[in-house]
Each structure stands twice: as structure tokens, then as C-alpha cells.
Amino acid sequence: MFSVKFKTTEELPEPSPRLIDQVIGQDEAVKIVLSAVKNKRNAILLGEPGVGKSMIVKAVGEILDEFGEFTPYYVIAKPNLKNMERPIVEVIDGYYKEKKKELPKINFNAPSPFTLLIVMIIAILVSQMIIKTMPADYLLAAVAITSMIVLIFGFIIVFSSLLGARASMPSVSPSDLEPVLLYECKKRPLVRASAYNVTRLLGDVKHCPLGGKPPLGTPPHKRIILGAIHEAHRGILYVDEIKTMPLEVQDYILTALQDKKLPISGRNPNSSGATVETNPIPCDFILIMSGNMDDIYNLRAPLVDRIDYKIVLKDKMDNTLENRDKILQFIVQEIRNNKLNHMTYEACCEIVKIAQYLAGSKDKLTLRLRLLANIIKMANDLAMGKEIEEILKNFKDKDYKPLEKKGKVYIDAEHVRKVFESGIYSMEKQVAINYIKNFKRYKHIVPNDTPKVGVIYGLAVLGRGGVGDVTKIVVQILESKNPATHLLNISGDIAKHSITLASALSKKLIANGKLPLPKKDIDLSDKEIYIQFSQSYSKIDGDSATAAVCLAIISALLEIPLKQDFAITGSLDLTGNILAVGGINEKIEAAKRYGFKRVIIPEANMIDVIEREGIEIIPAKTLDDIIPLVFDY
Ligand SMILES: Nc1ncnc2c1ncn2[C@@H]1O[C@H](COP(=O)(O)OP(=O)(O)OP(=O)(O)O)[C@@H](O)[C@H]1O
């Protein structure tokens, strides 16, 4: 199964501590993201949930220092003395601690010593002129007048400038005018924000219940909240959940990408911050976004155009020795990273089997690794169950002492199997399992040895739960002047079309008389065909029942009974070839669960089938292959 031999994962080497080395099966995507970051390109990662989109970005974030020089900076906000509602935000290179003393002082427009000197000289010259024009007896008075002039000039200049500066904000205390540090960035940043969180992404101005004006309120520059878009300056902005990104936010991001700066304004119209807006603040970042496959359609075209790399992550990989080793590496990582108990070799093999099952084929392994991680964690909890039971048993015991560890606990294959079969890791699977359990009580579907005309068992997968189910298909023929085909309990368009096809094909095959069945003369022009998916309340919306329906119609029209010990799945083309279907392993599992001894599947699907005991799997290429196996004549 793996290239190394071991009894438990304890014997395997420690995984690399670097997250970038821990990413499994997404080598291409990792390479592209690294190249995007190196060359300052924007990128979007698309893929199924839990395939490692966030992990890749986080891993790249860990090694950002390796992408060349970075100039540290800090961001301060200071008041705008001309208009307090337009505070000024500045990005300053360097470390805040070093430059703290040099923080810009608020200028009260106090006159400089040079201005004062000029004023004094003018004042002295004026007083000299006065003295010269005065008679000698008034000299003393003249000197006094001159001194007064000099003093008055000085006072007027100093106080007028101070009063002038404060005219727009009377009673502001010096502390209200102090600049504040909003953010300091010492190494290249990776800033993560969810697309729906507008405040976090774009920044905001806090509400001040006291009106937002000194002396009682907090001045606007002290209420600014920097956005992730600004914190990501000179680094990476990672936006996930793009499906939820409001159009307005997309426009702001677009502006930021174009202008490399964006102002912050109050976002809540009812807040005192609503009237505040800063200057455009520098925000030169690489944008990386992520979402599920269809989410890209929620983005505006101009934004999509500005994203250079569009990367689709894989959701499965080939089932090779090398890739099974990667799954093993993943198991060890999950155990070490989450401090779980170690796993036996057999349990690891079981995880590989589940990886095949979730990939829908024996040739593939799933890369929806969050699902696998959850299964491993729950299997670990189950392995610990014995201890938990013991603790509960001793809970009421006064003399209870904490358990002494009796030997090591290992996750074994049984724990893994139990978690997978119970479906505890998936809500949809549990709903489907409950539905099937309840329905089975009515014994509507029971394999038996009594052949019946027009009755056959088809196979389906319930909802998104990944659980297969058996559906009973019943066909009845009525003599009628109004020949038609009626479909009952069939909702999906594809299903309706495929069953119409089955009906036409079965009539054609009977009409040309080439079926390997006893011949019977039959007038098809007066037959009304009723096809029912009996007691099927789950939506039948695929075409995988086409072969089953076709056989049931032939049986009903020719009145030749069908055996009842098998279930069948397969799509059909117009010439009677059986075509591959999805969810083949779930369908085989369902047939086995209901007790069928045989299951007929398209031959093309054989590459997907994961071996299991207890049921015979019969591949079929054409209807002619199947007919001798299923009719009782
Ligand atoms: N390619 C991978 N390699 C290793 N571990 C993985 C990988 N993909 C997923 N995992 C495991 O699953 C967890 C969740 O993965 P992550 O959050 O990156 O998925 P995602 O694709 O971003 O999912 P979503 O679309 O739901 O946000 C990881 O922390 C890791 O344990």
C-alpha cells in the first residue's frame, strides 16, 4: 500500500515544520501562487471546500521574508487643523519606536524667532523715529511709549497666531491634537479578511456618542480604524469567501488596485463617523482571493480582469504509490499538528480506502483533505472513548483518582470504519442514512426469487449526501386509443428525457424483433405506458435509471418477468449501449445494504469500482449483454 513498512505512524519521521512542505497534491497551484507573489501579480484560487486554498496562502505567507527586501513602516493619524472632519493619515517609513520622538508636532502657527526678530527691529525703528521727532524734555516719555509699542507688537503676533489656530476648534486640549499610531508593520504582511466583512476590509471611523468633537468627544483622527486593505500595504491581502463580497466592496478594491491608495470614511450613516473622511491612504498590495468554483461569477468583470492568475485546485489525484505516500504524510501531519494518538498501519490503509471512496473511483484519491482530517480526528476521539467511558463511570465515585494511562492508545481500522460508516463527519450523509433506515422498515424493497413482470430495482444517490439508495421501478401497460408514456414521481428534466428515450428505445427494439427474447406479436399503437418510481420521494434527476426503465418496459410490453435478485444502474444511448454513471461505489454499497446478491453496472465504470465482498458486480456494455441475465423465460 505504501513505500514504507511500519506498524504504527509513531515509527514514521516527523513532518517538515514548514507549512509549504505540508501541502499535499497541489504542487501546480503552490508554484503559481509563489510566482504570483514573486512577480507581484494578483491571483484567485478556486476549488471544492477543504482542498487547501487557505492553507496554500498561509504557507506562502510564512515565507514572505524570502521575497526580497521590505521597508518597514508605520501609519499615524493626525488632526487636520483646518477641518477636523478630514483627518490626515500618513504612512511613514521606519520603525515607530525609533521615530517616535520625531512624530510630527502639531503646529499652532506660533511665530518663529526670525519673525519675532523682524517685528522687534521694525518696532525699534518706529520707536527711533518717534524719539527723533520728540523734543528732548519728552525723551523719557518717548522711551516708555517705544517700549510699549514693542511689547504690544510682540503680544499681538504671538496670541493672534495661537488664537487663529484655535479659532476653528475652541477649547481643544493639546492631548486632543496628538497624532496616534494606527498600525506598525515590521515584516511583509499577509492580511486575511472575509469578503463580507466590509469594515474589516476597508476600515471605518468609530462612532462617538459625545458628538465626536472636543472637549467632550473624541476627535475624528483618534477614531479611525485601518482596513485590511491598508494593513496589507507592501504585502498580500487575502480575501476568502468571495461569494459574499458586496458589489460596493468590489468597486473599492478595484479603486485600490488602480490608485494604490484609498481613503477611509465612516461606514455607518447613523454614526458620528459618517461625515469623516481621511485623505487617500497608500495601499499597494498583491490581491489573492479564494472561493468555490462558481463563486467567480459573483465578481464584477473589471475586477476579474485585474486578477492575473486564475488557479483551479484539484479535488482528486491518481491512486499511485507516490500519492498514497502523500496521504500517509498527510495522516502523520494531522496527528502531529493536532496532537492526536498514533494510527496503526491498517487504519492508514482504511483512510486510503476512504480517500478512494470520496474520490468516487478506485483509481483516484480525494484531495478534499479537510474531510479526511475530520474523519481522522473523530476516529481519534473514538479511540479515546474507552477512557472517557471509564471517567464517566467513576464520576460519582468519591474516591475516584484520575486514570493512570494503561498502555498507549492507537487509532485502529475499526475506529476509522465506524466514523465513516456512521456518516458523523457529514450532515447530508446522516440525513440520507436516517431516511434510508426509516424507509427500510416498510420492507418495500426486498430482493427475492420470484420473478415479476415490469418490476425492476434501480440505483440512485441521495441528494448531496453521498449515500446510495435502491429505487423500485414499476411499469404498467394499459390498452388505450391514446398511446402515450406517463412518468410518475420523476421530477428532473434529465430524468424525464432519459425515460422518454427508454420508452422509445424499448418500443423500437420490440418492433424490429431482434431482442434475444421469445418472439411475441404485439401492436404498439394502442399501448399506454405508466412508469412509476414507486415510493421514491428523493429527487430522481439523473439518467442512470435509463437501462432499468428500458428493461422494465420491455418486460411489461412482452409480459416476460424480470428476476428480482439484482439491482441495476446505467445510462443508455439511442443504440442500446450502456453508458457510465456517477456515484458508482455508493450505488453498489446501497445494493449490498438492501441484500441484493448481484448488481449490474456499466462496463465503463469498472475502473471506478472499489473492491468489496458480499455482492457480485456484473459489468455490461449493451442491453443485449444484460437481457439473458435478467429475464426469466
Ligand atoms: N492540500 C492539502 N494538503 C494538506 N492538508 C490539507 C490540504 N487541503 C486541506 N488540508 C487540510 O484541511 C484543512 C482545511 O484546509 P483549507 O482551509 O486550506 O481548505 P479551503 O480549500 O480553504 O476550504 P474552504 O473553501 O472551505 O475555505 C487544512 O488545515 C488541512 O488540515
C-alpha separations of 444 from 37, 469, 536, 588, 594 in Å? 59, 13, 11, 19, 11
291 lines ligand 1 (CB under 6 A): no
For position 400, what pLDDT does the model report?
Answer: 60
Residues 277 and 203: their CA atoms lie apart, in Å, by 11
Is there an atom of ligand 1 within 6 Å of 578 CB?
no
Candidate from 28, 51, 313, 329 with most ligand 1 atoms within 8 A of CB, to mutate: 51
Cα–Cα distance, 550 to 546 (Å, whole number) = 6
Count Cβ neighbours within 10 Å for each residue of 170-184 and write b for 16 or more, e otherwise.
eebeeebbbbbebbe
Does the beta carbon of 330 sit less than 6 angstroms from any atom of ligand 1?
yes
Contact 317, 25 (CB under 8 A): yes
Residue whose CA lies nearest to ligand 1 atom number 12: 370
- Give phi and psi for 357, each to the nearest 5: -60, -45
Neighbouring residues of 258: CB distance < 8 A, sequence distance ≥ 6: none
- Cβ neighbours around 35 below 10 Å, total: 13
CATH numbers and ranges of domains, the chain = 1-14+315-425 (1.10.8.60), 64-101+186-311 (3.40.50.300), 113-168 (no CATH), 441-630 (3.30.230.10)
Span from the CA of 24 to the centroid of ligand 1 (angstroms): 10
Given the CA of residue 337, which atom of ligand 1 is nearest to it?
A: 31
**211 CA distance to ligand 1 centroid (A)?**
46
Nearest CA, atom 8, ligand 1: 52
Tell me the catalytic residues. 544, 587
Interface pTM, i.e. ipTM: 0.98
Evaluate whether 371 touches 425 at the Cβ level (below 8 Å): yes
CA 534 to ligand 1 centroid distance, Å: 41
pLDDT for res 29: 94
Q: Which residue's CA is the nearest one to ligand 1's atom 24?
A: 49
CB 527 within 8 A of CB 569: no
- Grid cell listed for 384: 479515546
Distance CA 348, CA 99 (A): 56
Distance CA 314, CA 24 (A): 11
- Tell the residue number behind the cell numbers 435509471, with chain if given: 545
Cα–Cα distance, 396 to 505 (Å, whole number):
71
Round to whole Å and give the CA distance between 415 and 233: 48
618 forms bridges with which residues in the sheet?
600
How far is Cα of residue 574 from the mean position of the Cα atoms in its chain? 41
pTM over 0.80: no
**Residue 355, Cβ neighbours under 10 Å: how many?**
25
- Cis peptide leading into residue 215 (ω within 30°): yes
- Can you tell me which atom of ligand 1 is nearest the CA of 55? 18
Q: How far is the CA of 233 from the centre of ligand 1 (A)?
A: 26
Q: Among 55, 192, 329, 337, which is best to mutate for testing ligand 1, by the most ligand atoms less than 8 A from CB? A: 55
Query: Is the CB–ligand 1 distance for residue 25 below 6 Å?
Result: yes
Q: Which residues, 6+ apart, have CB-to-CB distance to 381 below 8 Å?
A: none
- Residue 444's nearest CA partner among 529, 531, 537, 530 is 537
pLDDT of residue 446: 86
Q: What pLDDT is attached to residue 111?
A: 54
Residue bearing cell 503680544: 155
Would you tell me the crossing angle of helices 546-558 and 623-630 to the nearest 10 degrees?
60
Grid coordinates belonging to 485? 408514456
Nearest residue to 331 (alpha-carbon basis) of 50, 22, 58: 22
- 258: DSSP letter: H
Task: Report CA(328)–ligand 1 centroid distance (Å).
Answer: 16
Does ligand 1 have an atom closer than 6 angstroms to the CB of 23? yes
Query: Which regions in the chain score pLDDT beneath 50?
Result: 108-110, 164-168, 170
Half-sphere exposure of 418 (CA within 13 A, CB side): 13
Strands (E), 94-219: 180-185, 190-194, 204-205
Q: Residue 519: what pLDDT?
A: 80
Atom of ligand 1 nearest to the CA of 313: 21
| Sequence-separated (6 or more) residues with CB below 8 Å from residue 583 | 360, 461, 466, 468
**Predicted local distance difference test score (pLDDT) of residue 181:** 93
369 Cβ inside 6 Å of ligand 1: yes
Question: Which residue, 273, 253, 254, 257, is CA-closest to 265?
Answer: 273
Cβ atoms within 10 Å of 467's Cβ, excluding its own: 26
The answer, yes or no, to whether any atom of ligand 1 lies below 6 A from the CB of 378, is: no
Q: Which helix (H) or strand (E) holds 380?
A: helix 369-393
Q: Given phi > 0 = left and psi -120 to 50 = alpha, else beta, which region is 463?
A: left
**Angle in degrees, 0-180, between the axes of helices 345-359 and 321-337, rounded to the nearest 10:** 110
Q: What is the pLDDT of residue 165?
A: 47
Listed in sequence order, the residues at least 6 apart from 389 whose beta carbon sits closer than 8 Å to its beta carbon are: none
In the reported structure, the alpha carbon of residue 369 is separated from the centroid of ligand 1 by a whole-number distance in angstroms of 6
| DSSP classification of residue 435 | H
Beta strands in 81-218 (DSSP E): 88-93, 180-185, 190-194, 204-205
Residue with cell 477641518: 83
How far is residue 346 CA from its own chain's centroid? 32
Phi first, then psi: give them for residue 261, nearest 5 degrees: -160, 155
Q: Whose CA is nearest to atom 17 of ligand 1?
A: 54
The reported pLDDT for the residue numbered 349 is: 96
Q: What angle do CA 176, 181, 183 make, to 5 degrees?
A: 150
Ligand 1 center–CA 200 separation, angstroms:
23
3-state helix, strand, coil in the chain (%, to 5): 45, 20, 40
